[in-house]
Structure 1
Amino acid sequence: MGLVGKIFPLYGMIGLGYIASRGLHVARESIAPLLIYIISPVVVFAASLNVTISLEVLGFPWFMFGVSAALCLFFYWVGKFFWEDATRNIFAFSAGTGNTGYFGIPLAMLLFEPEVANLYIFTMLASLLYESTIGFYIIARGQYTFRQSLLKVARLPSLYAMHLGLVCNYMGWFPSESLMDFMEYFKGTFAILGMMMVGMGLKGVREKGMDFTFVGMTFVTKFVVWPLVVFGLIYLDQTWLGLLNDALYKVMFIFAVVPLAANAVSMAVLLKAAPEKASFAVLLSTLFSLVSIPLMSLIFLH
């Protein structure tokens, strides 16, 4: 019940987002740019400043980035057999990532010791790197040309915020304590607005209908393929390679069990790539995670 109680308030944010969209007529098209271009870069910059830099810490996010990119590209190919519109693009994007921020951070802090939680928070930047490069490009390709898609990737500020934060961290250039405290407010804002975006996207589900093929396929990628790939890599390393340690195994576990990424809704809205389908799939996967996360925790951690 402790785990369920920790994540349950996030479901309330989804409901508030739906109410804001239906009753207050809040436009999700106004919220998505705020999340992607203003709030997210501040959150990323602060996380990059606070991480303890080492060769292992810097290398592991790239490993997880490779896993995400490989799954995205594979399922982009698979998607051509099911859809001919932008649904294929948002499906491929969703296959390569998960809700590593809104769900992953509280989950890591609840299940693991602070050292592992801090390692996870930095490794989560792999999701940001994926979403800001290959993932964003794949979604953009649903509506834009090759050149236009690359230009949109180049304009994403979060990627530059991550590198700036790491440079300042390495050089020892830190903002004042009051400014660091102020940046903490952006984390809560990011989580609340991100989950409300899911609820806002549900307004169009009743109007445009539900794509159960899309929901089923995204569930397979997130709740079957991701755990199989991650646990397979852990088994391979434990049996043959010996390159990783228990702390990194725990970080990989979080990546494997979180639901679909709420950021998929923000980017789908921004790029006009099937946002209603993304919202419905994210909502169902979030509800399903109430059962799947405790079950996977019981299997993996005991």
Structure 2
Amino acid sequence: MFALNPATLTGPLLMLLSFVGLGWLAARRLAVDPRPIATLLIYLVAPLTFFRALMQGGPTADYLLLTLALFVLSSLISLVVHRLAQHFFDAPESALLAFSSGTGNTGYFGLPVALIVLPAEGVTLYLFCLLGITLYEFTVGFYISARGQFSVRQSLIKILRLPLIYAFLAALLLSSAGLRPPDAVMQSLDVFPATYTLLGMMIIGMTLSRVTLAAWDTRLILACVGIRYLVWPLATLVAVLALQRWLEISPPLAMAFLLLGVVPMAANVVVVAMELGIQPQKGALAVLVSTLLAPFLIPLYFGIMLTLTSLG
């Protein structure tokens, strides 16, 4: 029913790598500091991007259940990894590993692929799943990352200052009341998704421009990439097989789940690491490695997963 040609990934991958390259040039030649851009993404661009997506998608109870399910899954994986990582890594590295384990590049990388391989219904389902992972990033994930550097009270205060939470609540309140911002306002928000993607990937390049050989941490990078390309594919495959057995999950939703499990590491790993000061250079290297592996691993994984789920 579904198929993913390896050539499908060429366009999104080249686009993302070109943005990384632009970021590297901006930092090396123009001396652009990535930290203010990370702050801009977290406190302005991301909240407006997802507010727009929620208002356009028209959240329903079923869609929000998907958001909740992915939020819970991401949080559980992150909490388990954090507990285990504390025995093998220092606090900053374990926080970085835990944060990265609960998320993936579901937006910058996964969404362009979803638009190609999924029907319209599947794209909508994918977006609400993506929202659950993003909410994890800026709540549980942000808290775990902050705890690597700050006290419980300081970490909770940082979460309460994140506007994405309030953007999510505002969108739900407006939708439940049957209200919608004027068309002129919604049109003005159209620039934010592309801005979110561009700046998010450029930050990786900006951070890499400052990387030295001392930042290479084989053990941490292997752990990050291994969780992304082993734990997540297995978790989403088991979820789809279980749902097929007990709830007769629709093929578009099954495909959306599988896609969430095979995308590379999230660029937001670098954004959050930079904002909180937890090894952004190591995070950037891990994200780059996982992104370069994507065109080789994703077609292989999809071939196996589609066969096992009888979707291929």
Q: Same-fold call, TM > 0.5?
A: yes
Q: Using the aligned pairs only, state the percent identity.
A: 36
Q: CA deviation at 1:215?
A: 0.6
Instruction: Name the structure 2 match of 1:176.
Output: 182
Distance 2:169 2:98 in 1: 26
SS of the residue corresponding to residue 86 of structure 1 reads helix
1:197 and 1:266 in contact (8 A); partners too: yes
2:223 counterpart of 1:247: no
Instruction: Name the structure 2 match of 1:143.
Output: 149
2:118 and 2:252 in contact (8 A); partners too: no
What residue identity is the alignment partner of 1:260? M
User: Which one of the candidate residues 54, 57, 82 is aligned to 1:51?
Assistant: 57
SS of the residue corresponding to residue 205 of structure 1 reads coil
Distance 2:59 2:21 in 1: 39
Instruction: Name the structure 1 match of 2:191.
Output: 185
2:100 counterpart of 1:94: yes
Instruction: Name the structure 2 match of 1:277.
Output: 282
User: Which one of the candidate residues 271, 292, 296 is aligned to 2:297?
Assistant: 292
2:8 and 2:113 in contact (8 A); partners too: no
Matches within 5 A, 1:220-239: 220-239=226-245
What residue identity is the alignment partner of 1:298? G
Q: CA deviation at 1:137?
A: 0.2
SS of the residue corresponding to residue 30 of structure 2 reads coil
1:90 and 1:268 in contact (8 A); partners too: yes
Q: CA deviation at 1:207?
A: 5.8
Instruction: Name the structure 1 match of 2:84.
Output: 78
What residue identity is the alignment partner of 1:94? S
Q: Deviations over 1:160-208 (max 9, x none)?
A: 1011112212322222222212101011000000000111111232163
SS of the residue corresponding to residue 139 of structure 2 reads helix
What residue identity is the alignment partner of 1:174? R
Distance 2:291 2:124 in 1: 24
Distance 1:244 1:151 in 2: 39
What residue identity is the alignment partner of 2:91? D
Q: CA deviation at 1:86?
A: 0.3
Distance 1:55 1:243 in 2: 18
User: Which one of the candidate residues 264, 274, 284 is aligned to 2:269?
Assistant: 264
Distance 2:135 2:190 in 1: 21
2:34 counterpart of 1:28: yes
- Stretches of structure 2 lacking an aligned partner (at least 5 in a row): 1-6
Range 51-60 or range 104-113, more displaced: 51-60
TM-score of the superposed pair, with normalisation by structure 1: 0.96
Distance 2:127 2:241 in 1: 23
SS of the residue corresponding to residue 211 of structure 2 reads helix
Instruction: Name the structure 1 match of 2:167.
Output: 161
SS of the residue corresponding to residue 82 of structure 1 reads coil
2:40 counterpart of 1:41: no
Q: What RMSD, in angstroms, separates the aligned Cα atoms of the two structures? A: 1.4
Instruction: Name the structure 1 match of 2:112.
Output: 106
2:103 and 2:266 in contact (8 A); partners too: yes
Instruction: Name the structure 2 match of 1:119.
Output: 125
What residue identity is the alignment partner of 1:58? L
Q: CA deviation at 1:297?
A: 3.0
Distance 2:132 2:27 in 1: 31
1:68 and 1:130 in contact (8 A); partners too: yes
Distance 1:209 1:116 in 2: 40
Q: CA deviation at 1:249?
A: 1.2
Distance 1:40 1:52 in 2: 18
Instruction: Name the structure 1 match of 2:4.
Output: none
Residue correspondences, number: 301
SS of the residue corresponding to residue 288 of structure 2 reads helix
